[in-house]
Amino acid sequence: MNALVATNRNFKLASRLLGLDSKLEKSLLIPFREIKVECTIPKDDGTLASYVGFRVQHDNARGPMKGGIRYHPEVDPDEVNALAQLMTWKTAVANIPYGGAKGGIGCNPSELSVSELERLTRVFTQKIHDLIGTHTDVPAPDMGTGPQTMAWILDEYSKFHGYSPAVVTGKPIDLGGSLGREAATGRGVLYATEAVLNEYGKNVSGHRFVIQGFGNVGSWAAQLISERGGKVIAVSDVTGAIKNNNGLDIPSLLKHSKEHKGVKGFHGGDSIDPKSILVEDCDVLLPAALGGVINRENANEIKAKFIIEAANHPTDPEADEILKKKGVVILPDIYANSGGVTVSYFEWVQNIQGFMWDEEKVNNELKKYMTRGFKDVKEMCKTHECDLRMGAFTLAVNRVARATVLRGWEA
């Protein structure tokens, strides 16, 4: 099932639990605006190349829209729509004053030189500069983009609107980026994991963790979990998978992964089939890679008691049902991986105030937001007698619906 169908399904279930009327339900689903632009640039060899850039702005009832910009060859409009909608619910669960958006350019960044990427980013910004803004829509990095991309957008946007550091987040520290932003999603995953384990009278220390994906989120989560005494027994990425039942030495693995561009060949563990990573015996499973990896084919084999969705949409609805029957506790993506967007919000706040925080303040505030977020989700679970996913969705949809009605926007 694709991400859009699953997101719509969760929204409809939440809407029914809340008793929203059909007109309001419809207006909450329809995106505010979808933008598609042609970006033509001279390549380094002097030839011209055209790329399609796009931005889906889903909802702005609670504040400016917020979401990543990805550079990827296969950009599926349905997926972008789903991710824009997911950002609306994610910012609402986190209780930060944003709506959702998502965008990008259909290109393969690995085939473009740095100067070609810069030209492409600047042309894209020229095309959308009057549709984004500090109080309108605030982009951030995503697949294939990073702090340097945000620096180019900031510079190009500022040519039209004056210096505006708060127009994008995920910037380099030297241009108003926030300390703690790089680790934020992984750190948020740690705080979310602590919150759910506390609920069951457990803590991170001594528990066995398996992490699928060792990019930014997976590697930070692994590092922070092992610092808290958790045992990370297996990890996988695109290069392969490794396992050590006594716990992997995470600092050494991080060093190896950096030097060899992946976990493959790490001597502190045995190589295993990456396909088996999700069904390894463990207490807590963290899918931190792609969507749709937990499905009806493998759900019955999963041995973890807790699944923390560090990736977007890793669990199919069919797998959800199977796991629920098995008594597996799933912490949904719209809460579990919201640490990144929460610290993006802190970055935006610091830029608007022109006053930067130290890293300790960023991390303390993040912990406050994640802990409070879990309490809010649990409250909704009690009210509507539902699981954590529906608890998070009802919380989000309720917040957005209330803002929509208060602003007089309901049809």
Q: Report which of 261, 255, 225, 259 is spatially closest to residue 240, judged by C-alpha positions.
A: 261
pLDDT in tens, 283-305: 999 999 888 899 989 999 999 99
**Residues 188 and 260 reside in one and the same domain:** yes
Among 108, 136, 164, identify where a domain stops: 164
My answer on whether 214 and 277 are in the same domain is: yes
Q: Is 261 labeled as ligand-binding? A: no
Q: Are 61 and 407 in contact (CB under 8 A)?
A: yes
Residue 98: C-alpha distances to residues 5, 39, 117, 130 (Å): 23, 28, 28, 18
CA quadruple 259, 264, 269, 274: dihedral positive or negative?
Answer: positive
Q: Which domain covers residue 221, as residue numbers?
A: 183-331
CATH code, domain with 140? 3.40.50.10860
Portion of the chain with pLDDT greater than 70, in percent: 100
Over residues 231-257, the pLDDT tens digits come to: 999 999 989 999 999 999 999 999 999
Per the domain annotation, does 279 fall within a domain?
yes
**Shared domain check, 53 and 159:** yes
pLDDT value, residue 229: 94
Ramachandran angles phi, psi of 351, nearest 5° = -65, -45
Selection from 220, 71, 227, 236 nearest residue 139 by Cα = 71
CA separation for the pair 153, 51 (Å, rounded): 17
Boundary of a domain, candidates 303, 331, 359: 331
In 10 A of CB 329, how many CB atoms? Answer: 18
Tell me if 381 is assigned to some domain. Answer: no
Query: Which of the residue ranges 122-131, 214-223, 258-267 has the most confident prediction, judged by mean pLDDT?
Result: 122-131
pLDDT of 5-62, one tens digit each? 888 899 999 999 999 999 999 999 999 999 999 999 999 999 999 999 999 999 999 9
**Residue 22 located in a structural domain:** no
* Range 129-156 average pLDDT: 96
- 307, 237: one domain: yes
- Is 243 annotated in a binding site? The answer is no
Task: Give the pairing type, strands 48-57 and 65-72.
Answer: unpaired
Same domain, 128 and 199: no
Task: Name residues whose C-beta falls within 8 Å of residue 345's C-beta, 6 or more positions apart in sequence.
Answer: 66, 91, 94, 96, 97, 98, 169
Q: How far apart are the first and last CA of the chain?
A: 30
> 63-88 pLDDT, tens per residue?
999 999 999 888 778 888 888 999 99
| Amino acid identity, position 17 | L
Residues 134 and 352: beta-carbon distance below 8 Å:
yes
78 and 201 fall within a common domain: no
Does any domain span residue 61? Answer: yes
- Residue 366 lies inside a defined structural domain of this protein: no
Same domain flag for 293 and 230: yes
CATH number at residue 226: 3.40.50.720
The catalytic position among 12, 26, 43, 102 is 102
Pair 207, 310 in one domain? yes
Residue 359 identity (one-letter amino acid): E
Is 244 annotated in a binding site? The answer is: no
Residue 389 is assigned to a structural domain of this protein = no
- In this structure, the answer to whether residues 151 and 193 fall within a common structural domain is no
What CA–CA distance (Å, rounded) separates 72 from 85?
A: 19
Active site residue 102: yes
Same domain, residue pair 151 and 234 = no
- Indicate the burial class of 291 (C-beta count within 10 angstroms; 0-12, 13-18, 19 or more): buried
pLDDT of residue 292: 85
Residues 69 and 102: their CA atoms lie apart, in Å, by: 6
Q: Which residues make Cβ contacts (< 8 Å) with residue 266, sequence separation at least 6?
A: 242, 248, 252, 253, 256, 257
Q: Is 363 annotated as a binding residue?
A: no
CA distance 17 to 29: 16
Please report which confidence band the pLDDT of residue 192 belongs to, taking 50, 70 and 90 as the band edges. Answer: very high
- Indicate whether 410 pLDDT > 80: no
394 has a pLDDT exceeding 80? yes
Q: Residue 246: helix, strand or coil by DSSP?
A: coil
Query: What is the pLDDT of the chain when averaged over all its residues?
Result: 94
23 is annotated as contributing to ligand binding: no
Do residues 114 and 200 share a domain? no
> What's the confidence (pLDDT) of residue 312?
86
- Let me know if residue 395 belongs to a domain: no
Q: Domain boundary residue among 331, 356, 391? A: 331
What is the reported pLDDT for 411?
A: 62
For every residue of 52-105, DSSP letters joined together read EEEEEE---SSSSEEEEEEEES---HHHHHHHHHHHHHHHHHHT-S-EEEEEEE
pLDDT at 19: 94
CA 323/CA 350 separation, integer angstroms = 41
387 located within any domain: no
- The pLDDT of residue 121 is above 70: yes
Total domains, the chain:
2
Of the listed ranges 4-8, 194-198, 241-245, 275-279, the one predicted with least confidence: 4-8
Enter the tokens of residue 369.
Answer: 């937001």
Q: pLDDT at position 1, please?
A: 59
User: How many beta carbons lie within 10 A of that of residue 296, not counting itself?
Assistant: 14
pLDDT reported for residue 367: 97
Same domain, 105 and 192: no
The size of the chain, in residues, is 411
Residue in the structure block whose two tokens are 């220390």:
205
